[in-house]
Amino acid sequence: MKILVALSGGVDSAVSAKILKDAGYEIEGCYMKLHGRDDYHAKNIEKVQDVGNFLEIKTHILDLCDDFKREVFEPFLQTYKVGKTPNPCALCNRTIKFGKFLDFARSKGCDKIATGHYAKIENNLIKSAVDLSKDQSYFLANIEPRVIPNIVFPLGNMLKKDVKKFAASFPELEKISKSSESNEICFVENTYIDVLREFYKTETPGIVRNLQGEIVGKHNGYMNFTVGKRRGFDVFGAHEPHYVVKIDAKKNEIVVGSKADLDKNEFETQNFNAFLNIDEILKMDEIYVKIRYRSAKIACKIEISLNDNLNNESLTDKNLNFENSDFLNNQDLKAKIILKTPANGVASGQLAVFYDKSDCVIASGFIA
């Protein structure tokens, strides 16, 4: 079996390649250029070539900058522009790392691709990694279900500290083992607002309203805020903390309330991405949802229906098969999520990820 390994110049991808090579697989490496300056790529490519020389494997350089800009970066900007909170990693994984990269691997005669993500694959489902502090199953939950058989995650059963220890045991990888962690959003060096300032006039004064619609303060531009933020705006005569509970981009207004006002018992998602048959998901006794990467899982119930542009027929009591129903795809389905306990700070634009009781990802959807 021939596997193309995504090499970033970091320790996780290098160790992934070493593990697969030691296991007897025929492997090649590939560095993806997604964004950034030439000097940024030059440093990473040098590291990737060092890993390739150490493992005695062929390495490729794949320029996906235009694809990344179109599929990830521009939607990132647009989502903030309309007052929502984007999840660029979820978009990147679907369209770039497990889309364009997989296409490239096939063009090179490879059977599968491998990455340094901390996750596992079990029974054709993505599953949480052993190292829960590094688990990336959340960010992988938006990939197309059909590509899972073509993916390998060598680090799924390893702890991060053991990955670094393993790398440090080889002189050729010792320097990489001591490298710093990458940014949570790869193209954001400091804060997201710094990126937005390059494209938008973010400092535009606006008003703050309470939940009753009354003007209670002022702010310096809605793009500076996300749901749940409690600083950066003024509330006249405030004696207790206020939190952003809603953003109205068209009016350049934010709505604030107490922390309790952030609690939601239900919400809706769009682009429901199912990894199992719909009827199988609906019959599950235990389903858990994460509304953010670092949030705890919350028990929930899912009601699935067609998007409004098709019709509003509920699928809750239907026996519909994901594989054989030609309309059941990522764009056609939406879901209503009913939580067993309230969730704090549910943000439109973020990814909601659904797990079964075995920590396997069964579906995902973007919060409406």
The domain ranges of the chain are 2-177, 202-257, 261-367
pLDDT in tens, 11-32: 999 999 999 999 999 999 999 9
What pLDDT, on a 0 to 100 scale, did the predictor assign at position 313? 52
12 is in an annotated binding site: yes
Pick the CATH number of 202-257 from 1.20.1050.10, 3.40.50.150, 1.20.210.10, 2.30.30.280: 2.30.30.280
Is 29 within 8 Å of 57 (Cβ atoms)? Answer: yes
Phi, psi of 154 (to 5 degrees): -65, -20
* Residue 168, amino acid: A
> In whole angstroms, how large is the CA radius of gyration of the chain?
22
**CB-CB neighbours of 311 under 10 Å:** 8
Q: Report the candidate in 168, 126, 160 with the shortest Cα–Cα distance to residue 12.
A: 160
Look at the block and give the residue holding tokens 């659904």.
Answer: 354
32 is in an annotated binding site: yes
Q: Is it true that domain 261-367 has CATH number 3.30.300.30?
A: no
Look at the block and give the residue holding tokens 């119930």.
Answer: 301
Distance CA 119, CA 129 (A): 4
Distance CA 282, CA 302 (A): 7
206 - beta bridge partners?
219
Pick the CATH number of 2-177 from 2.120.10.10, 3.40.50.620, 1.10.10.10, 1.10.274.10: 3.40.50.620
Characterize the bridge pairing of strands 243-248 and 151-152: unpaired
358 is in an annotated binding site: no
Q: Which two tokens stand for residue 247?
A: 């953003």
13 is in an annotated binding site: yes
Residues classed as catalytic: 92, 186
What pLDDT, on a 0 to 100 scale, did the predictor assign at position 318? 44
Q: Report the candidate in 367, 318, 358, 289 with the shortest Cα–Cα distance to residue 123.
A: 358
Handedness of CA 79, 87, 96, 279 (dihedral sign): negative
2 - beta bridge partners?
26
67 is in an annotated binding site: no
Distance CA 86, CA 96 (A): 16
Below-50 pLDDT ranges, the chain:
316-328
What pLDDT, on a 0 to 100 scale, did the predictor assign at position 309? 62
Distance CA 247, CA 301 (A): 27
What pLDDT, on a 0 to 100 scale, did the predictor assign at position 310? 55
pLDDT in tens, 72-115: 999 999 999 999 999 999 999 999 999 999 999 999 999 999 99
What pLDDT, on a 0 to 100 scale, did the predictor assign at position 330? 55
What pLDDT, on a 0 to 100 scale, did the predictor assign at position 41? 94
8 is in an annotated binding site: yes
228 is in an annotated binding site: no
Q: Which two tokens stand for residue 15?
A: 């160790």
* Residue 330, amino acid: N
